[in-house]
Amino acid sequence: MSTQIHLLDEEEEQEVPGFDAEGFAMQALLSRRTLAAAIDHTLLKPEATQEQVIRLCREAAEYGFACAMVNPTWAALAHAELAGTGIPVGVVVGFPLGASLGTTKREEALALVKIGAHDVDMVINIGLLKSGENQAMLQEIQGVVEVAHEAGAIVKVTLETCLLTVEEKLRASELAIAAGADFIKTSTGFSTSGATPEDVAMMRGVAGGRCGVKASGGIRTLADARRMLEAGANRIGASASVVIVGELKTA
């Protein structure tokens, strides 16, 4: 069964208050440390090794990244490595296709927050979205949000924008926000393409100040990150994080 979700039209998008993209971008780009604080330092390759995950965590602590984002199998290791650093563990749920059962995503999220994950990046069920199953989508996201929030964790809902029409991007954003998402996120980085400034701006237009917007997928340079921040992202997901902050001409 589907349900009606109100979608903001272009005029309404411009009127949604609550987030100063220009101001946030300027603040984030003040120094390497402030930029790092807006980046999820990410390693999600299936072939990633224990040694690489440990290096990721140590870099996250050294640079002060927003979190160290890893696959579920490495969550406990990352939690141990980051203990006492103040850097949270990020994990992915239903990754990368989003086609798992909603109950499976909920149980995966529950298991991960129990072992210390703080940032839970879940992938929506794209087929359900395209089939107009809004209620099922809403319930699936709510299931993950409930267990995460109960544990003091946050949820970023990945839309995989490259596979969606404009209407689907708007509807998915509204559904995620209605379900209690802390962030809406562009991409997994494992599909046909990644984040674009246009998609980020559209998502921020829907979100306003109601939740964060995370740009991820294909962000490899400081110029890429700058474009996403200026478009309205307040979190960046990248595996090239160290390179990106190193390009900033300030300490």
CB atoms under 10 Å from CB of 147, counted, come to 22
Q: What one-character-per-residue DSSP string does 175-203 give?
A: HHHHTT-SEEE---SSSS----HHHHHHH
The overall average pLDDT reported for the chain is 94
Q: What is the pLDDT of residues 124-166, one digit of tens each?
A: 999 999 999 999 999 999 999 999 999 999 999 999 999 999 9
pLDDT at 3 over 50: no
Q: How many CB atoms lie under 10 A from the CB of residue 142?
A: 18
Residue 5 banded pLDDT, cuts 50, 70, 90 = low
Residue 137, token pair as written in the block: 């989508």
Residue 63 neighbours by CB under 8 Å, 6+ apart = 32, 33, 36, 41, 241, 242, 245
Q: Return the active site residues.
A: 121, 185, 214
Task: Record the tokens describing residue 139, joined without a space.
Answer: 């319930």
pLDDT tens digits for range 6-56: 554 444 444 555 899 999 999 999 999 999 999 999 999 999 999 999 999
Domain ranges in the chain? 20-247
Fold (CATH) for 20-247: TIM Barrel (3.20.20)
